[in-house]
Copies of this chain bind each other. A is one copy, B any other.
Amino acid sequence: MVIKVHGNPMSTATMRVAACLIDKDLDFEFVFVDMATDQHKKHPFLSLNPFGQVPAFEDGDLKLFESRAITQYIAHVYASNGNQLTLQDPKKMAIMSVWMEVEGQNLEPPASKLTWELCIKPIIGMSTDDAVVKESEEQLSKLLDIYETRLAESKYLGGDYFTLVDLHHLPNMYYLMGTKVKALFDSRSRVSAWCADILARPAWVKGLEKLQK
């Protein structure tokens, strides 16, 4: 049974799923979706994801979308493969879920705007909107203050070990480290150390190489 990831190497959500599969030591076929020609907005891609967003995921007859749902499926069903990415104790798992929600609800909105404005737009020849950058930086800055406090309590955001919580952050962190927003991370010692730690993870580096080949 072959696992397939339909996506684009530039997409943070595609990167998230690829990083998870590699951390779980699972092989997969990468199916390139050409977003420049709006392939993701047309059939047959829409039969894999009615929202017209990458990635879409197939594991045998199971078809999924939404990157964070896909990573949870992988971590749960392939629990014995590769690295453990969830915590087993119900209370620890609950705290991990809290921080997974924080990433999705609080980090993703400003981080994805900053990635779009500062990284993707220059590549595709569009102009950066400075007002959006300023507002997103302010939101991110407040959030990172809370992360700095959290990382005094535990080595990783979700608990004592690297989990899906940290993994979900990787693609946005990777992009932002190449921009002026890096200063927001560098000015907070624990956030800065955590960020350097998770971005140096061999599975992440390998995942990037696989997508960019």
The reply to whether B101 and A69 contact each other, CB–CB distance below 8 Å, is yes
Within the complex, which residue of B72, B91, B93 is in contact with A97, where a contact is CB–CB below 8 Å? B72
Instruction: Give the distance to chain B from A28, nearest Cβ to Cβ, in Å.
Output: 16
How far, in angstroms, from A93 to B74 measured CA to CA in the complex?
A: 12
Number of interface residues of A (CB under 8 A): 29
Secondary structure at chain A's binding surface: helix, strand, loop or mixed? helix
Instruction: Give the distance to chain B from A125, nearest Cβ to Cβ, in Å.
Output: 26
Residue-wise interface mask of A (78-108) relative to B, using a CB-CB cutoff of 8 A (1 in contact, 0 not): 0000000000001101110110111011100
Residue-wise interface mask of A (58-90) relative to B, using a CB-CB cutoff of 8 A (1 in contact, 0 not): 000010111011101100110000000000001
A149 CB-CB contact with B under 8 Å: yes
State whether A69 and B94 are in contact (beta carbons under 8 Å apart), knowing that A104-B104, A104-B105 are contacts in the complex.
yes
